[in-house]
Structure 1
Amino acid sequence: MRLPTTLRLAVLGLLGAWLVLASTASSDATYVRSTTNTATVRAAADWTPPALALAQPATPVQGTLTLTASATDAESGLASVVFQYLAPGSSSWTTACTTTTAPYACAWDTRAGADGGYDLRARAVNGAGYTTVSDVVSTTVANNVLVVLANPGEVVRGTVSLKTSVYNGGALPWLVTVQYTTSGGSSWKTLCSGLSAPFTCSWPTTAFSNDSFDLRAVATAGPTSSISAVVGDVLVDNAAPTVTMVDPGSPLSGTTTFTATASDAGAGVQQVVLQYAPSGGGYQTLCTLTADPYSCRYATTALADGSYAFRAVATDVAGNTATSSAVTGRVVDNTVSSVSLDDPGAFLSGRATITAQASSTSGIASVRIQYAVGGTTSWTDLCTATATPYACTWDTTTVPNGSYDLRAVLTDGRGATSTSAVVSGRKVDNSRLRAVDVQTANGDGTAGHVDAGDTLTLTYGDVVAPGSITAGWTGTALPVTVRLRDGNLLGGTSKTDAIDVLRNGAAVQLGSVGLREDYVKGRKTAQLNATMTATTVTVDGVDRTVVTITLGTLASGGGLRTVTTPSTMLWTPSTAAQSPSGGACAATPATESGAADREF
């Protein structure tokens, strides 16, 4: 008979206590102290959060609005559904009402707050305490005369249509003026004036500099006037990106790497398409790339032998495109042997898999994979493969830490050899102290948006001396500043935004975290107050340091965006962090574990 979980735990606890007492009683060692901890562990009956969806209300609304949600929980049942709103200009959610029984609906008196655009959400809690937050829906509250200028988007180009709405204006003959100023400015200039219903204005952005602007609308009827909320940080970007196709060389055979470089000083690069064209033919797509480096591997065996041209087409977030100069006269010839080594990555540790690609019209006798100390010519065989896959496992703990070069040597059916290009400067680092994981967690803010209460957690593979991260630190709660910078400021793209941590204006020795998505608007920097703590956890018998940064209020800057696309963060640690014995942290980056998700 299998005992219930709680009873088995209780029996084990009593047995453990008896063993401790028994060992103490039979020992002749001097008694120092004893500690007794009692814990009760119960298995949860429900591990599944409830299902929840908030109904989209009409817009505009006035007076009392009934908010409704569909919510279910098949296990422990629903304890409550809370309806919340985010008022215009506010950064914190306010509870409108709470209901505990179906149908889940409540009345929200919109007259208690200011007119304007509101975000709405619902929070459902089940009997086991698990919470689900619904997707955000939006509406406009207009209990009085309200002027609303529709947001044209974060990035605009060409001629943009700006639409103004006047709510509760009655039969008065309203006229609308649309105004602009540089982002954060106070000197408003007229863009369109004397607009009558339907109050539409055409904005020729090509006559403006590529910069960020604030917009607003002013509605006037006789002596009465009303001003809309400001639509801020609208980036005008009419400049095409720059793009260059890298010469792939000639002749080309086997699996070849094709690369382009692209940049955009405005909205950032959205995608780069690499293309090829046979002599006298039209261009076709090799690959479509959305992140730097703009590079892909392509099997040229899919192409007929002959002369080809290659080019790259870049498109920025605003929709501007640019086409590189063509690299012409490059010959594809797969009638000869070819071999290439796949790049195993910049950092290697433990048992690393090294692979090569090879082809030959006369057959393949073997492929040898070799390594040499960086910059030398003394090559050592790692393995010899006579059939695909041409790969071997390199136990990097058998060589000293340092820089190494790698290559592959093909011997074809005729006995002739071909040597691949060298993959150079790959760093072997088997330092015990290294970065192992990076995670974020949403506090109580908007999913995909950086808010107070959100956390950033950095996990090392061993214990770190807190004082090596920042002088004098013991791991207790320490006020710091978290800086988020748009990728364009760092020489990357809009999807290479990065986080680093500062203390008294100087970076602490944690390294940096690449968000790999666009959390900060173009060319913006945001700094938030934060608290940093370090704790020691034991995983599989190994003590590890976990650094947790809890975000607070916005300290300076701004331009934070709400991201809807999942991504996977990359933490590049600082080698200045040390173990208590003085061992330096490996420079090997750590990729966020688990499925790709929205950060924060």
Structure 2
Amino acid sequence: MSIDAKRRPLTLLAVLALLAVAAFISPGFSSATFTSTTQGTATVRAAADWTPPTVAVTSPGTAVQGTVTIEAQASDSGLGVKDVTIEYAPAGSGTWTALCTDATAPYSCAWTTTALADGRYDLRARATDRAGYETTSDSVRTAVANKLLVVMNDPGETLRGTVQLSAGVFNTGTLSHTVRLQYRLAGASTWSTACSSLTSPYTCSWNSAAVASGDYEFRAQLTAGSTTTTSEVVTDVTVDNVAPTVTMTDPGTPLSGTRTFAATAADAHSGVATVELQYALSGTSTWKSLCTIEAEPWSCRVATSTLANGTYSFRAVATDEAGNTTTSTAVANRAVDNTVSSVSLDDPGAMLRRTATLTAVASSTAGVTSVRIQYAPTGGSTWSDVCTDTTSPYACTWDTTKVASAVYDLRAVLLDGSGRTTISALETVPVDNSPLAGADVQTANGSGSTAGLVGANDTITFTYTAQVNPASIMAGWNGSATNVQVRIRDGNLPTLLRGSKGDTLDVLNGSSAVGLGSVNLKADHVRFLRTVSLNATMTASTATVNGLERTVVTLRLGTFASGKASDLTTNSTAAAMVWTPSNAATDLFGNRSSTSNVTESGALDRDF
């Protein structure tokens, strides 16, 4: 939603909050330093590259033999491309094998296909830029044909009506042969023939409307004398000759200002591709487009002022992925009258905290008597007033500390000079005034590790109740992967005196503890009076719980930094860890974390 020029300036804290939220929802992390002062100025220095690279792999053709060169193109508008990895996989398997990693353009690999089974393969490229962002290209499909091979060409994901089916044949030499194309319903045991006795170029027309709509498989068979060679099966092909269903939602009457127009649509086979909402002036048969939507919800916001005042009909046209269309019954006799009142609430921001300014824009040919701004728990119907304003710009100061931290709907209600009310569209926004504290601590056993024994790839996860400024946990940290050490000490040490079942974990940066606090593992992981440190990678991410964003700090263990494997013991007792957070951690507004103990949630386990 656009913000009215009369909207009051955001406070410095709100600006900083929006910048911090944007950093957490961006695709990955980049090095950045944030500096601010409390004397009316703020300085922000962002990383030089927030943009991932682009990459594409070049198709080597329908089929390949022997050793071929696979090429890729990659570029990056920021710090530049670091390297490109080219990969292959059996078609549709998703099991990718690297061919090579090339750090110099033009990026290419020699692919020796003689060691592979003949058949269809997918190729793709992954580009990494110098900021650490990675992009994976779309895959291209080819066939390895070092021997006699018949390939059923993919007819496409979705079919309707009469379609062209085809096969590829390789390395037949002078061998006399014919090709038959077959299909079956996915999961069926019996194949049906679409066409037979095909010779080069091995194509035929098939009427898909002659079979029931559903998911099908296809294959090709090459017959030479008494020998039959069968292709790989092409799966996940949807035949859809059934039109979707669609219903236009009544937009109401009269219509004015910016309104939401919507429809409901469904398709049992290929799925709905688009829904076009249309209008026609009453008494005419000329339908024009309001908007075309490509994903649910099938709705759009339209300024009705683009339509002349009058009476209209509205309808929806749904098109499925196969191209089948259905037109809904029209909703008729709906008036568009922009001489009446209109009101809209300005976008209040990504998240509200403490005191927030809410503004609305309202107009009426009968004059604006007042604008009331209200809130309700999202999806609820019980509305409470924030304030009532009788003069433009219509604005309220909302003390959000008076409500629980949750997600709320906001609206503006206009009362015009004739006594009629007009209600704005809803703005949904989270309110979070909860104090920063620990929410949960968890450990997980790494792949290939022994249960109960600390080892490489084990993880420790700390979850907070709100978003944390990473630099408060470790100076200069922005949440991206960074190297630290995880220290585990025997609970019998004089500095702990917690006993054998009180081994304690904390995190160090060099010789200094980071601001995560410590964890009483409530178990025996380290031998008597010993201390072990493991190298680890620490990252921060954002998770959304009940509409509110939280910071999750994850540590993945690696090699020993000090101590050795014989210093560790395998814990055989299931217990719940207790995390004591450090008050060094602060939220995005500088508020320090509570140090109240947090007990591990979930079923008791042996940890690691």
TM-score for the superposition, normalised by structure 2 = 0.58
1:71 CA displacement? 7.5
Distance across 2 between alignment mates of 1:271 and 1:226: 41
Give the aligned residue type for 1:272. V
Change (3 A) 1:352 1:164: farther
1:386 CA displacement? 2.9
The answer to whether the 8 Å contact 1:341/1:420 transfers is no
- Which digits, 9 at most, give the CA deviation of each residue in 1:36-74, with x for residues without a partner? xxxxxxxx9999999876544243221222345567999
Matched, 1:198 2:201: yes
1:291 CA displacement? 2.4
Matched, 1:267 2:263: no
Structure 2 residue runs of 5 or longer lacking an equivalent are 1-46, 448-456, 482-541, 553-577, 580-608
Matched, 1:539 2:469: yes
The answer to whether the 8 Å contact 1:88/1:114 transfers is no
The answer for the alignment partner of 1:319 in structure 2 is 323
Distance across 1 between alignment mates of 2:125 and 2:406: 54
Identity percentage of aligned residues? 51
Where 1:420 maps in the other structure, the secondary structure is: strand
Change (3 A) 1:342 1:170: same
The answer for the alignment partner of 1:335 in structure 2 is 339
The answer for the alignment partner of 2:214 in structure 1 is 211
The answer for the alignment partner of 2:438 in structure 1 is 463
Matched, 1:307 2:282: no
User: Which piece of structure 1 moves more, 255-264 or 335-344?
Assistant: 335-344
Matched, 1:284 2:301: no
1:324 CA displacement? 0.9
Distance across 1 between alignment mates of 2:403 and 2:353: 10
The answer for the alignment partner of 1:147 in structure 2 is 150
1:157 CA displacement? 1.5
1:387 CA displacement? 3.0
Give the aligned residue type for 1:185. A
1:284 CA displacement? 1.2
Where 1:214 maps in the other structure, the secondary structure is: strand
Matched, 1:109 2:103: no
Distance across 1 between alignment mates of 2:76 and 2:271: 43
Give the aligned residue type for 1:417. G
Change (3 A) 1:256 1:95: closer
The answer for the alignment partner of 1:525 in structure 2 is none
Change (3 A) 1:159 1:408: same
The answer for the alignment partner of 2:419 in structure 1 is 417
1:254 CA displacement? 2.6
Give the aligned residue type for 1:324. S
1:215 CA displacement? 0.8
Change (3 A) 1:76 1:221: same
Change (3 A) 1:336 1:127: closer
The answer to whether the 8 Å contact 2:69/2:110 transfers is yes
The answer to whether the 8 Å contact 2:273/2:319 transfers is yes
The answer for the alignment partner of 2:495 in structure 1 is none
Distance across 1 between alignment mates of 2:77 and 2:547: 47
Give the aligned residue type for 1:275. Q
- Which digits, 9 at most, give the CA deviation of each residue in 1:168-209, with x for residues without a partner? 122333221112222233322222222232222322222222
Matched, 1:399 2:403: yes
User: Which piece of structure 1 moves more, 306-315 or 362-371?
Assistant: 362-371
The answer to whether the 8 Å contact 1:410/1:417 transfers is no
1:298 CA displacement? 2.2
1:391 CA displacement? 4.9
Distance across 2 between alignment mates of 1:352 and 1:299: 28
Map 1:365-380 onto structure 2 (within 5 A).
366-371=370-375, 380=385
The answer for the alignment partner of 1:476 in structure 2 is 444
1:393 CA displacement? 5.1
The answer for the alignment partner of 2:387 in structure 1 is 382
The answer for the alignment partner of 2:572 in structure 1 is none
Distance across 2 between alignment mates of 1:94 and 1:175: 35
The answer for the alignment partner of 2:230 in structure 1 is 227
The answer to whether the 8 Å contact 1:346/1:426 transfers is no
Change (3 A) 1:420 1:89: closer
Distance across 2 between alignment mates of 1:74 and 1:269: 36
The answer to whether the 8 Å contact 1:60/1:141 transfers is yes
Change (3 A) 1:209 1:541: same
The answer for the alignment partner of 2:187 in structure 1 is 184
Matched, 1:64 2:67: yes
Where 1:172 maps in the other structure, the secondary structure is: coil
Map 1:547-566 onto structure 2 (within 5 A).
none
Distance across 2 between alignment mates of 1:335 and 1:79: 59
The answer to whether the 8 Å contact 1:347/1:429 transfers is yes
Where 1:144 maps in the other structure, the secondary structure is: coil
1:408 to 401, 409, 412: 412
Give the aligned residue type for 1:463. G
Distance across 1 between alignment mates of 2:78 and 2:412: 58
Map 1:77-88 onto structure 2 (within 5 A).
83-88=86-91
1:163 CA displacement? 0.8
Change (3 A) 1:398 1:337: same
The answer to whether the 8 Å contact 2:374/2:411 transfers is yes
1:232 CA displacement? 0.4
- Which digits, 9 at most, give the CA deviation of each residue in 1:486-517, with x for residues without a partner? xxxxxxxxxxxxxxxxxxxxxxxxxxxxxxxx
Distance across 1 between alignment mates of 2:312 and 2:269: 33
- Which digits, 9 at most, give the CA deviation of each residue in 1:469-488, with x for residues without a partner? xxxxx433389xxxxxxxxx
The answer for the alignment partner of 2:175 in structure 1 is 172
Change (3 A) 1:213 1:347: farther
Where 1:301 maps in the other structure, the secondary structure is: helix
1:96 CA displacement? 4.1
TM-score for the superposition, normalised by structure 1 = 0.59
1:80 CA displacement? 7.6
1:404 CA displacement? 7.4
The answer to whether the 8 Å contact 2:84/2:103 transfers is yes
Distance across 2 between alignment mates of 1:322 and 1:313: 6
User: Which piece of structure 1 moves more, 330-339 or 363-372?
Assistant: 363-372
Change (3 A) 1:107 1:325: closer
Distance across 1 between alignment mates of 2:65 and 2:322: 36
The answer to whether the 8 Å contact 2:414/2:423 transfers is no
1:289 CA displacement? 1.8
The answer to whether the 8 Å contact 2:217/2:234 transfers is yes
1:212 CA displacement? 0.9
Distance across 1 between alignment mates of 2:129 and 2:342: 62
The answer for the alignment partner of 1:432 in structure 2 is 434
1:338 CA displacement? 4.0
